[in-house]
Chain A
Amino acid sequence: MNLSVSIADIKMKNPVTTAAGTFGDGSQFGDFIDVSRIGAIIAKGASLEPWKGNPPHRLVETPSGMLNSIGLQNDGVEGFIREKLPRLLKHRVPIIVGVFDKTPENYARIVKRLNREKGISGFEINLSCPNLEKGGKTFCDYPELVKEVVGAIRKATDLPIIAKLSPNVTDIVAIAKSARDAGADALSLINTLVGMRINIKTREPYLAKNTGGLSGPAIRPVALAKVFLVSEARLEIPIIGMGGIQTAEDAIEFLLAGASAVAIGTANFVNPRATLDVLEGIEQYMRENSVNDINDLIGAVRAHSQ
């Protein structure tokens, strides 16, 4: 039975990875699972300089999910290289490092700095940051801004680049195309949806930043549809599917919709065994349905003709 998949040049022994910002440096999960069994880790990564993050409250529960506004708290690229990267590399699985900042130039500088470190398998570009040079417009909302950032990073590295796209857009296929045309090797679909909750006793929003990113099973059907839409567009670019995946059944839906790999995010918080539960469930599904190669499931949805 073959479970291995490829995302650009990244060889994964199975299709299960982690969504950025939900898996720490992996060591937080060492008491619960054998982290080396995961196909790859997408780590939150770093901005160029340290970011303090947002004040509390940073998260609140929602129906079948949660809202967060962590504010990408991190120790900067040097702090990441010193503290987190060595711990990540110990797991002996491909490490994909998240990159985020407020100007295309900074994105490129982070990647150039990380190029000098051994053992990194690729970069995931979080495009859900405000662009300081363009009046705070969020990169992933505009095809031309996506092109600019991805293009700058493409020039800065030969390693695979995965562009993480937001669902909060009118036409995700257009954004996906511009990421691909600018040199992205793969796509992560999807980032969180913008959401909000208000405490009716105090009349204040629960989150200090008023709104936040909705994640968890609440967004799964949305994520699945985005993966399906982009996959149907035949852009010839591999997709890592994510958004509310909790079980193997969820993951298989994403594979069928066209994802070559799946990332477990918020589920890690509720069930620290979620990654391996999903992996073991996929193996069981393959055995029960006589699927010998996981690649036979990718994009194998029997979509109704329109």
Chain B
Amino acid sequence: MKHLAQGIITRRTELSESYFLLELECQEIAREALPGQFIMLECKGETFLKRPMGLSSADPEKGVISFIYHVTGKGTRSLHSQLIGETIEVIGPLGNSFWKEKNARTIGLVAGGTGIGPLLMFGNWALKNSPETEIIGFIGAKNAKMICGEKEMKRFAKEVYCATNDGSFGYKGFVTDLLTEFLSKNSLESIIACGPTQMMKKTAEIASERNLQCQVSLEEHMACGFGACIGCIAEIKGQGYSMICAKGPVFDASEVVWKESNL
């Protein structure tokens, strides 16, 4: 069930340069949220629409949810100025969730930017519910300072590899190049990617070439987040435009029609 709820900001943690983890006390959403789901968040200030944020955790016992944001625009700047103890309106949990492929024992998680959030939630879920699963993490960023969530991912992943565009930390190049290199020597049975569309598109290609099942969590401008505005669409093979908020955000990468306009 979707809720229109009030969340109380309980903690803000800086994960890396301008990337923050925000924790909200919000019982209704914490009780029900699954990995891959998102919330629509009021950002106050000059913003009008709520902002979609992929959940990075949901603790039903504590009644706390969290998400990772990157201070980029009006909405996130305004969100960043909110203080601990303040209340913000939230709608959620929204969308579908990641699924665990049967027989997939080794899963690669490919993260870019704030895309790490939903993957952390999936990894922690897998650790608890499917301990035989082996997780290999791949994190991409512009530079060493912006690598986000490595420490958090190491809590459940067997190995975590990082890539930076400038080579200041880990592999020099794109995280998808790092993934290709990894796959030339090792194997994965399933991949989940969350991050910039270009990164997910490339990951989908890599998976498709190797016949690996691949899930991607798509992103688009959203007005409502619950299937009313039909604004956030992706083209899905044989189905025309599908609503990312209602049919996704998680799609089987092989079903997505990747186009320049997705980027």
Contact = CB atoms under 8 A, between A and B. Distances in A.
Interface string A189-209: 000000000000000001010
Contact of B2 (A31, A61, A216): A31
Contacts, number: 95
Contacts of B221: 56-61, 206
Report, as a range, how many residues of chain B touch the other chain: 20 to 34
Interface string A31-70: 1100000000000000000001101111111111110101
Contact of A24 (B1, B223, B227, B235): B227
Contacts of B222: 59
Interface string B103-140: 00000000000000000000000000000000000000
A268 interface: yes
Report, as a range, how many residues of chain A touch the other chain: 35 or more
B230 interface: yes
A186 to B, nearest CB: 24
Contacts of B240: 52-53
Contacts of B235: 55
B241 A73 contact: yes
B228 A269 contact: yes
B184 to A, nearest CB: 34
B101 to A, nearest CB: 28
Given A32-B4, A65-B48, A208-B261, A58 B224 contact: no
Contacts of A55: 235, 241, 259, 261
A28 interface: yes
B48 A31 contact: no
A70 B241 CA distance: 11
Interface of B: 1-4, 46-50, 89, 91, 220-224, 226-235, 240-241, 246, 259, 261-262
Interface of A: 21-24, 28-29, 31-32, 52-53, 55-66, 68, 70, 73, 206, 208, 216-217, 266, 268-273
